[in-house]
Structure 1
Amino acid sequence: MKKFLTLVACTLMATSISFAQEEEYYYGVQTEEQSADQASEPWPDEAEQSSEVEPAEETAPADNKVNKQTSAQPAKAFEPTPAPAHIAQADDSQDSYERPANNEQKFGIGLRAAFDYGMMYGFKNEDDDVDGSPTGIGFEGGLMGRIQLISNLHFAPEVNIAFVRTEHEYLHQKRTYTSIDLEIPLLMRGIVLDKFYVTGGPQLNLNLSNDFDYDNKESVEGYEEKIDEAKFTFGLAVGAGFNIIEGLFIDVRFYMGLMDLYPDVKSISDYEDGDIVGEGDDFSYISMKGAKMMKIKAGLSYWFI
C-alpha cells in the first residue's frame, strides 16, 4: 500500500511539472516540431525519481526523498525559441531597406496638369431668350505637395493657374465669359489600394483676370454691359486617382463652387423705375444671380520627389 502511494505521489509530481512547462510555452514562440520533440523527451528529474523509488522496503525514507527533491528543484526559466534562419535574414534585409515606397514617403513635390469642363450652375435667369447656362472647356496646371500624416493618409495641397471659357446665347447672340484663377485646393489624400487613392477637401479661388464679350457688341443700343467676377470664391473638391507607373498618376476630380461668381452684377430687373445705371456699375441685360462654377477635371500628375 505504501509503495502504491509513493508511486501515485511521483506520478502527480511529474504531471504538475509537465503542466507548468506547457503554460510557459503558451506565451512563447515555438513550432509544432519543437513541441513534439519536447513532449517526447523525458525530464531528467523524472528519470532520477523513478530510479530512486524502486526499493519497496524503505517507504518512509522515500517520501522524505520526494519532498526533498520537490523543494530542491529550481524553477526552470523560460528560454525563448530562437527565430528560424529565414526570419532573421528577412529582418536584416528590412534594416538595410533605405527608401520606402513612393506613396509612403513623408514629403513629396510634383507637377499636375488637367483639362477642365466648366459649367455655371444655380443660374436663376428665367428669361426665355436666354439659351441655357454658360458651359465650356479650360485647362489648369501647377505644383502639388504631399505631407504624410499617418500611414496611407496625406495632406496634399496644390497651387494651380486655371483658365476656363464658358458661353451661352441671349437673343441669338453668343455671350462669352473667360476667367483666369489662382486655385488652391487643400486636399486630404487617402491611399485605398497600392495603386489607387481618393482625395477631397476645400478649394480657394483668387480671380486674377476675367472678361466678358458677345457677338455684335457695337450694334447693341443703350447701356454697355460690364460684368466682373468676384475676387474670391471657394468650394469643395473630391476625386480619385490611379498610379500608372512609378510617380505618374491619372486622376478625375469634381469641383463645386459654393459662392456666387457675380454678386455685384445688377440686371435691368434690379433697377426701379427712374433709376439710371451708374457709370461704374456692373450691369448686365440678363440676371447673373445665383451663378456658381462647377468643374469636372481629368488630370495627369507626376511626383519627382
Structure 2
Amino acid sequence: MNISKIIAAGALATSLAVAQEDAWPADEQTDASTSSATEAEEAEPAEEAAEQSNEAAEPQSETTAQTASEPAPAASEQADTRTAYDSSDNAYAENTASAPQKTNTLNSKMGVGAHIDFNYSFLNGLAQDWNMGDETDAPAGFGFDAGIRGRIPMVDYLQFVPELNFHFAALTQSDEAAERVFKQMDLEIPLTMRATVLDMLYIAAGVQLTLNLSSKVTFEEEDIDMGGGLGTTSMEFNEKIEQAGFTFGLLFGAGFFIMERLSIDAAFMLGLSDMYPDCESDLIESMDGGKQMTFKVGVGYWFM
C-alpha cells in the first residue's frame, strides 16, 4: 500500500516537472515574439523614411546623370563662343588702333601760332551820288593779312583766340577816264571764341578792332586835254581823304585742320563804323556811311 502511494507521488512529481518544462519555453517564445513585434513596429518608420529618401534621391540621381552626360558639349559651346568674342574684341582693338585718329589734341592746350591770309575788301553803304553824282561802283580790291595768334582753352571744345595782324589792302574805283586807289595799312586785333564741332572742324565768332597805321588815296586821270593843240596827258593827284583812326566790326570764321598743326581758315569781317567819316576832297563829294567788308582765306600753323 505504501509502495503504491510512493509510486503515485513520484509519477505526479514527474508529470509536474514535465509540465513546467513545457510551459517555460512557451513563456520565452511569448517574450521573444513580443520583442520581435516591437522591433518590427520600430523598424517600419525607419523603412518608410528610407523609402522616401530613396524616392527623393531618384530624381536627383536622374538630374545628376543628365547633367553628367551634358557638360562636354556645353563646355565646348561656351569655349567656342568665348573664343569668338575674344577674336572679335581683338579685331576691333586692332582696327581701332590702326584707324587714324581725327581728334586734334592741341585744342585742349594753350598755344601760339602764325597765319597769312589773302583778303578781298569793299566799301558798303556809300550814297549813290558819292562820286560827284556819278553812279559808279564802290571801291573794292585785294590785299593780305599776316600775324600771330594765341589759343587759350576755356571749356571742352571751346577756346579763346586773340590775334595781332598786319593788314594791307588797295581798294580801287574807276569811272570813264579816272581811277582812284585807296591804300590801307592797319593793325588788326581780332578777338574770337572758337568752338570745335567735328573733331578737326571749328567755327569762330567775335569782334575785330582796327587801328589805322597809314592811308593814302591817289587819283589818276587819263586823256586830259592840254589845250592849244598840245594833246592829252594823264595826271595823278593825291587827294586828302583821311581814313578813320579806329574802326571795329564783327568777325565770323571757320576752319579745317588738314594736319594736327596746319589749318585752312576762312573769315568774314562785317564793319560797323565809317571808314572815311571826314572827307575833304574837291573831287569826292562825300564818303559818309562807307563801312568796310572783308572776306579772308588763308592758312594757319600752330607752333605749340
Which bracket does the TM-score occupy, shorter chain normalised?
0.5 to 0.7
Contact 2:179-2:221 within 8 A present in 1 as well: no
Structure 1 residue 131: Cα displacement: 1.7
Question: Secondary structure at 1:298's aligned position in 2?
Answer: strand
Quick check: 1:289 aligned with 2:292?
no
Contact 1:125-1:289 within 8 A present in 2 as well: no
The one-letter code matched in structure 2 to 1:124 is A
The one-letter code matched in structure 2 to 1:204 is L
Distance 1:224 1:245 in 2: 47
**What is aligned with 1:269?**
none
1:74-94 Cα offsets, whole Å, 9 max, x none, are xxxxxxxxxxxx9xxx9xxxx
Distance 2:238 2:259 in 1: 53
Distance 1:175 1:130, change over 3 A: farther
1:273-297 Cα offsets, whole Å, 9 max, x none, are xxxxxxxxx6652321111110000
**What is aligned with 2:258?**
244
The 5-angstrom pairing of residues 5-154 of structure 1 reads: 101-126=104-129, 127-154=132-159
Distance 1:117 1:235 in 2: 16
Distance 1:190 1:123, change over 3 A: same
Distance 1:243 1:261 in 2: 34
**What is aligned with 2:161?**
156
**What is aligned with 1:169?**
174
The one-letter code matched in structure 2 to 1:293 is Q
**What is aligned with 2:190?**
185
Which residue of the other structure, out of 212, 228, 234, is the alignment partner of 2:242?
A: 228
Distance 2:135 2:145 in 1: 29
**What is aligned with 2:297?**
298
Distance 1:283 1:128 in 2: 13
Quick check: 1:253 aligned with 2:267?
yes
Distance 2:178 2:282 in 1: 17
Distance 1:152 1:224, change over 3 A: closer
Distance 2:207 2:162 in 1: 10
Question: Secondary structure at 1:245's aligned position in 2?
Answer: coil
Between Structure 1 and Structure 2, whose CA radius of gyration is higher? 2
The one-letter code matched in structure 2 to 1:183 is E
**What is aligned with 1:31?**
none
Cα RMSD after superposing both structures: 2.6
The one-letter code matched in structure 2 to 1:244 is I
- Please give the TM-score of this superposition, normalised by the length of structure 2: 0.59
Question: Secondary structure at 1:103's aligned position in 2?
Answer: helix
Distance 2:291 2:127 in 1: 10
Count the aligned residue pairs.
192
Contact 2:217-2:238 within 8 A present in 1 as well: no
The one-letter code matched in structure 1 to 2:264 is I
1:25-45 Cα offsets, whole Å, 9 max, x none, are xxxxxxxxxxxxxxxxxxxxx
Q: Percent identity?
A: 40
Distance 2:182 2:171 in 1: 5
Question: Secondary structure at 2:106's aligned position in 1?
Answer: helix
The one-letter code matched in structure 1 to 2:292 is M
Structure 1 residue 105: Cα displacement: 2.9
Distance 1:130 1:150, change over 3 A: same
Structure 1 residue 104: Cα displacement: 3.2
Unaligned runs of 5+ in 1: 1-85, 91-99, 267-281
Distance 2:208 2:282 in 1: 28
**What is aligned with 1:216?**
221
Contact 1:103-1:152 within 8 A present in 2 as well: no
Distance 1:240 1:139 in 2: 18
Distance 2:141 2:271 in 1: 16
Question: Secondary structure at 1:259's aligned position in 2?
Answer: coil
Contact 1:183-1:206 within 8 A present in 2 as well: yes
Contact 1:181-1:205 within 8 A present in 2 as well: yes
Structure with the largest fraction of helix: 2
Contact 1:135-1:166 within 8 A present in 2 as well: yes
